[in-house]
Amino acid sequence: MILTVTLNTALDITYRTAALTPHATNRVAEVSERPGGKGINVARVLAALGHESVVTGFVGGRTGDALRELLAAEGPGGQPAHAAVSDALVTDAPVTDALVPIAGTTRRTIAVVDETTGDTTQLNEPGPTVTPAEWAAFLTSYEELAARADAVALCGSLPPGIHVGAYAELVRLARAAGRPVLLDTSGEPLRRGIAARPDLVKPNADELAQLTGSREPLRATRDARRRGGRSVVASLGAAGLLAATPDGSWRAAPPTAVRGNPTGAGDSAVAGLLSGLVERLPWPERLARAVALSAATVLAPAAGEFDREAYADLLPRVAVTEQSSQPEQESHAPRQHR
């Protein structure tokens, strides 16, 4: 079982409009809702890959009730029933709800999809304030769940009321239980969390630059390792992934640039990395899986889902290349690095 933690869950609402006109009244043509938050998205993809997962974090209020109802309705498999199942190797597994109830109300996020331009305008509500007693109840549940997990993923932002060192605390607890732990967050929670020595961190280019001060991915990824990440896999958008690990450094890139909705692409990459870790795949295979899942998510029509046919097609075509293991030399002559 893989445990995913989403402290700031959300009811993700998508509005389709003919065209979004700011400062005017816009009729919404179609409304859809799904359980959201990065850890929940990761669990959905893990389920589609055949990995049993448990989701925890906080949930409350009417929007929280709606989230839990939708999560239960997704049933085994995570992906809604209409998703194409073309790859015989891909099977569905259950997502178990272990969310901790709180007095506050789960936030909504609204994605307004302009059907004329295809662009999305995102509105994210602030999360509910979590009380110290609710955090304590979560920790008790988390320790019990982490002890049973093959791996733990800590995903997304912190809601108000949670101390900025919360992820560092959760990393230490997972490590104390001897469980591999992945951290995917940003800003100060990432800075504190990485110092607690997680097994894997997956920053995107902006998060990595904010953490290290460097926009040069290879240097920044190696810097992030020095800050405490045992392995660091940076997601570089269309350029794929860059990994710095104790076993070596690799770049993994999709065969062609893909166009579509990047929402959830990072979460799919996390699911690819986690499943590969649990299956003890060599790094190049883990990275190829993460890149193919990520690209197949961009290609899927619905935000946060992946196109299984595209995944099966892309997986053998991801180019994984080992990088020079001479960071010191590179740091003296950064311009020569391609």
**Minimum separation from the CB atom of position 141 to its own copies (A):** 26
| 31 binds its own copies, rule: CB under 8 A | yes
Q: With respect to its own copies, which residue has the nearer C-beta, 27 or 82?
A: 27
Q: Which is nearer to its own copies, 147 or 205 (CB)?
A: 205
Told to check if 24 binds its own copies by CB under 8 A, we report yes
Range 101-120, binding its own copies (CB under 8 A): 110, 112, 114, 117, 119-120
Q: How far is the CB of 64 from its own copies (least distance, A)?
A: 10
Using alpha carbons, list the distances in angstroms from residue 30 to 16, 131, 195, 303.
5, 36, 44, 14
Task: Kindly write out the interface string for residues 125-144 of this chain, putting x where it contacts its own copies by CB under 8 A and - elsewhere.
Answer: xx------------------
Longest Cα–Cα distance of the chain, Å, equals 58
**CB of 223 closer than 8 Å to CB of 212:** yes
| Residue 66 engages its own copies in binding (rule: CB under 8 A) | yes
Q: Smaller CB distance to its own copies: residue 14 or 249?
A: 14
Q: Which is nearer to its own copies, 133 or 164 (CB)?
A: 164
Interface with its own copies includes 62 (CB under 8 A)? Answer: yes
121 binds its own copies (CB under 8 A): yes
* Cβ(312)–Cβ(197) below 8 Å: no
10 Å CB burial of residue 153 (0-12, 13-18, 19+) is buried
CB of 122 to its own copies, least distance (A): 4
β-strand 53-59 against 30-36: which pairing, if any?
unpaired
Number of residues that bind its own copies (CB under 8 A): 28
Using CB under 8 A, pick the residue from 1, 52, 65, 90 that binds its own copies: 65
Can you say whether the dihedral through the CA atoms of 239, 241, 243, 249 is positive or negative? negative
Cα 111 from Cα 13, distance rounded (Å): 6
Q: Three-state DSSP class for 307?
A: coil
Among 75, 87, 90, 124, binds its own copies (CB under 8 A): 124
* Catalytic status, residue 97: no
Report if residue 72 touches its own copies, rule: CB under 8 A: no
What is the SS3 string spanning 70-132?
HHHHHCCCCCCCCCCCCCCCCCCCCEEECCEECCCCCEEEEEEEECCCCCEEEEECCCCCCCH
Query: Is residue 29 close enough to count as binding its own copies by CB under 8 A?
Result: yes
Strands (DSSP E) along 90-176, which ranges?
95-97, 100-101, 107-114, 120-124, 151-155
Rounded least distance, CB 213 to its own copies, Å: 23
Backbone phi, psi, residue 133, to 5°: -65, -35
Minimum distance from CB of 13 to its own copies (Å)? Answer: 8
Provide the 10 A C-beta neighbour count for residue 263: 22
Q: What's the rounded Cα separation, in Å, for the pair 182 and 178?
A: 13
Q: Applying CB under 8 A, which of residues 89, 103, 123, 136 lies at the interface with its own copies?
A: 123
Of 62-70, 158-166, 215-223, 309-317, the window that binds its own copies (rule: CB under 8 A) is 62-70
Spatial neighbors of 153 by CB under 8 A, at least 6 apart, are 2, 3, 4, 5, 39, 42, 181, 182, 184, 270, 274
Place of tokens 């660091």: 232
- Residue 184 tokens read as 């995917």
Q: Choose the catalytic residue: 12, 223, 267, 307.
A: 267
Among 26, 204, 210, 214, binds its own copies (CB under 8 A): 26
Q: How far is the CB of 117 from its own copies (least distance, A)?
A: 7
Which residues are identified as catalytic? Answer: 267
Binding site for its own copies (CB under 8 A): 15, 17, 20-29, 31, 62, 65-66, 110, 112, 114, 117, 119-126
